[in-house]
Amino acid sequence: MDFNYDEEQQALREAVRGLAGKAYADFENRRRVVAEEPGFSEKVWTQLAEMGVLGLPFDEAYGGMGAGAVEVGIVAQELGRVLAPEPFLTSVVLAGGAVAAAGSEEQRIGLLDDVSSGGSVLAFAHAEPGSRWQPTASAVTASSSDDGWTLTGVKEPVPDGARADILVVSAALPAGGTGLFVVTAETPGLTREGYRTHDGGRAAKVTFAGTPADLLGDDPGDRTGVIARVLDVARIAACHEAVGAMEFSLETTAAYLKSRKQFGVTLNTFQALTFRAADMYVSLEQARSLALWASMVLDGGSDADVATAASRASLGVSRAGRHIGQEAIQLHGGIGMTAEYSIGSYTSRLTALDHLLGDGNHHLGLLATDVGGYREVDPLP
């Protein structure tokens, strides 16, 4: 048993921290970048590609690095620390993960290499109006004819759906079940209406009107299990991104308490405030433990183990994210409400991460259905 990063992992962390810090440690830079389209820096995206980060989880045969869940977690955490707006989570882990899991050999070679090199931004078009984090699709339907597959319906919100070069789309299959499809940006019959999200990101309403699409993979069978697995993998990465954001929120809050003066003294003079910061630390470390554990389960666990670990980590991180996010603003006072100062944006991002792939209560509900099915939770394999 070992909960420490090895030397290579530490080097990866330092490298990503250096790159992300150079880009966004000055919060003004981040504000400037998210104010303009496409909501992230193409330059930073290219730098991440050059570092190998965008191909991190993919096999070397497809232009990737063949790294594990721990490495993905390290990158997500470092990006979370500076609120880097580049879509590592949604484009690489989520959409890229779907291609890696379900794509044909030809699709993997073509698409994953393109993602890894930074050539294409992928988006995962899965959420639908009325859906709540299920691994299935119903509002977008797929039809097949001699000319191939077409999609009809609306996906929303699709993270970075307007900027994306390629959409990976889930759709209800004619024979039942959910399939996965690939749609490129120029395809006729595809409409994308992009907008800003509260956390500085971008999302889109994507409308398919008999839009031609390529089946992802060779088999037109149900892909619900694949989607569920990919969502779980992304949930664990999202937990790490949230841990990075929480870690920085607490550091920033502690520094503020030491420097801000009221009544002629610094705020850390007041135990009512320092005790609340101590409770934030407890929440952070508990969340960090769950995220690290879930990554290790992901590297070698069964699909069922991974699903449970993803739910447990998501539940703990959701609770911690709300606690730390809310307290970070409160302990700052009025300055925490301003867009100019960083801390409120961290809370906004934590709120987005909480609801992107399933919030705490969603996972609590899933876990509660089986509470009588086991005696106790044993974290070891």
Partner 1 sequence: MQLALSAEDAEFRDQMREFFTTRIPQEIRDAVAERRELTREQFVSSMQILNAAGLAVPNWPVEWGGRDWTPLRRHIWHEEMQRAFVPPPLGFNASMIGPVIAQFGSQELKERFLAKTANLDIWWSQGFSEPDAGSDLASLKTRAVRDGDEYVVNGQKTWTTLGQYGDWIFTLVRTNPEAKLQAGISMLLIDMTSPGVEVRPIELIDGGHEVNEVWFTDVRVPAENLVGEENRAWDYAKFLLGNERVGVAPVGATKRNLAQAKEWAATVSTGEGTTLLDDPLVSTRIVELENELLALELTALRVVAHSTDGKPHPASSVLKLRGTELQQAVTELVVDLAGPASLASGAGDDSDLPWWARRATPTYLNFRKASIYGGSNEVQRQIIARTILGL
Instruction: Name the residues that contact partner 1, by CB under 8 A.
Output: 1-6, 9, 70, 250, 254, 257-258, 268, 271, 274-275, 277-279, 281-282, 285-287, 289-290, 292-293, 295-297, 299, 312, 315-316, 364-365, 367-369, 371-372, 375-377, 379-381
C-beta of 99 vs 310, nearer to partner 1: 310
Alpha carbon distances (Å) from 284 to 13, 164, 232, 275, 327: 19, 33, 21, 14, 12
C-beta of 84 vs 290, nearer to partner 1: 290
Token digits for 228?
Answer: 């569920």
Is residue 240 classed exposed, middle or buried when 0-12, 13-18 and 19+ CB atoms within 10 A define those classes? buried
User: Can you tell me the distance from the alpha carbon of 88 to that of 162, in angstroms, rounded to the nearest whole number?
Assistant: 16
Q: Give least dist CB 337 to partner 1, A.
A: 22
User: Can you tell me the distance from the alpha carbon of 172 to that of 190, in angstroms, rounded to the nearest whole number?
Assistant: 17
Which among 293, 365, 287 is positioned nearest to 322, based on CA atoms?
Answer: 287
Write the DSSP symbol of residue 202: E
Q: Give least dist CB 182 to partner 1, A.
A: 34
> Is the bond leading into 38 cis (omega within 30 degrees of zero)?
yes
Which among 313, 361, 263 is positioned nearest to 76, based on CA atoms?
Answer: 313
- The helix or strand, by DSSP H or E, that contains position 166, with its residue range, turns out to be strand 166-172
User: Can you tell me the distance from the alpha carbon of 115 to that of 130, in angstroms, rounded to the nearest whole number?
Assistant: 30
C-beta of 4 vs 145, nearer to partner 1: 4
Residue whose structure tokens are 């809050």 = 253
Q: Give least dist CB 313 to partner 1, A.
A: 9
Handedness of CA 50, 56, 58, 64 (dihedral sign): positive
Q: Give least dist CB 258 to partner 1, A.
A: 7
Q: Give least dist CB 346 to partner 1, A.
A: 17
C-beta of 18 vs 365, nearer to partner 1: 365
C-beta of 5 vs 197, nearer to partner 1: 5
C-beta of 122 vs 277, nearer to partner 1: 277
C-beta of 222 vs 305, nearer to partner 1: 305
